[in-house]
Amino acid sequence: MDFHFSEEQLQIQSIARDFAQKRIAPVAAEFDKSGEFPLENIQEMGKLGLMGIEVPTEYGGAGMDSISYVLAMIEIAAADCAHSTIMSVNNTLYCNGLLKFGSEEQKNKYVTPIASGEAIGAFALTEPQSGSDATAMRCRAVKQPDGSFIINGKKSWITSGPVAKYILLFAMTDPDKHARGITAFMIDTAREGFHRGKTEPKLGIRASATCEIEFSDYRATPDEVIGEEGHGFKIAMGVLDAGRIGIASQAVGLARAAYEAALEYARERKAFGAPIGSFQMIQQKIADMKCKLDAALLLTLRAAWAKQEAAKNNGRFSTEAAVAKLTASEAAMWITHQAVQVHAGMGYSKEMPLERYFRDAKITEIYEGTSEIQRLVIARNETGLR
């Protein structure tokens, strides 16, 4: 693993940091308050290559590597978690899945507009009754004599669902086969039979629109099947490995923002005639925050490196991704908690961003595999036992 970043990697990091600090940070609190989807910012991010960092240039992306993606995600998340959530779904769950398993025609049609920022993509796996247990899904896709599929059912907690043009959907085509009976489809949200539910009133990442979606006799054509019929669960799990690196990056960026705010406050705030950063209890918090932040960053970079290595030999990077996601998300939750404590009453006020960081951090321990699921993945991979 090389700890030296290339000129290209540093360039995309700089582009992301500049945009995040000039365009996102000044409006993050207002978007959090209103819950409005930041469409204009997302479109601009697309023009900068941030919505398809690992997507080849011929499909509208930046044509860069996984390390570049991590560096850019961290910068966006440090300014606002909601923007980085939209960026993460577009990059790792939507574009990554189609690049790995889609046909050439599907890549041209469905990846290009999303990677370029012209449209928004989404990923639909979770259902009202099946979160961690994806094989319990009830959304059904019944094959017709002409090869098309009639889809009925609901999906919940769909990030970017209220605004997405295309959605990568997973539906059961053969219930008797359980996991091997799941198939992936590309959904056009403008087609008859697709319905969006209300936008969810979330605790955090409020500007990243989330909703339930429903299918009522929606017809998917044979050329809208992604990969092979019955390979949907394999596709979903592979995509989630990459997605976990995105959430780990998001958590690192958020944790860094909270840590830097706490560090600055500890230097400036005085009590009993001295900066509070000179008190041992505050120093202990600062030291522990720094250790957890650095560990999360390095494990996330290792996971991105492992993903790049795995691509060379068609290998897996599940453990590295799960370790990074688990460590970074729990570090973000802990660091934001401590940062609020360092700020005391001011940390509880909406006049400062700490309370937003705190609310945003919680979701990183839940979506794209809860902390409990990450521990399960890691332990099973290490022991070889199921």
Give catalytic residue positions: 368
225 Cβ contact partners less than 8 Å away, ≥ 6 residues apart: 149, 183, 184, 185
| Mutual angle of helices 354-363 and 232-268, in 10-degree steps | 160
Q: Which of 110, 204, 203, 214 is nearest to 161 (CA)?
A: 214
CB 123 within 8 A of CB 89: yes
For 195, list phi and psi in degrees, rounded to 5: -135, 140
The alpha carbon dihedral of 60, 66, 72, 75 has a sign of positive
One-letter amino acid of 292: K
One-letter amino acid of 256: R
336 Cβ contact partners less than 8 Å away, ≥ 6 residues apart: 254, 255, 258, 354, 357, 358, 360, 361
For 124, list phi and psi in degrees, rounded to 5: -125, 100
Instruction: Report the relative pairing of strands 166-172 and 121-124 from DSSP bridges.
Output: parallel
3-state SS class at 162: coil
How far apart (Å, rounded) are the C-alpha atoms in residues 226 and 231?
Answer: 9
Q: Is 63 left (phi over 0), alpha (psi -120 to 50) or beta?
A: left
Residue 127 DSSP class: B
